[in-house]
Amino acid sequence: MKRLLIAALTGMTLALPLSGIGAPDETQKQIIQRAQEAKKKLAAAQAAQGPERQKMMQEHMSEHRMMMQGGGMQGMHGVGKK
CA distance 77 to 53: 30
Instruction: Kindly give the confidence (pLDDT) of every residue in the chain, 82 residues in length, as a single tens digit, with 9 standing for 90 and above.
Output: 777 778 776 776 766 665 566 777 888 899 899 889 888 888 888 888 888 888 888 888 888 888 788 755 444 444 444 3
CA distance readout (Å), 82 to 8, 74, 78: 36, 10, 8
Domain map (residue ranges) of the chain: 26-73
Report residue 67 CA to chain centroid gap: 11
pLDDT at 4: 72
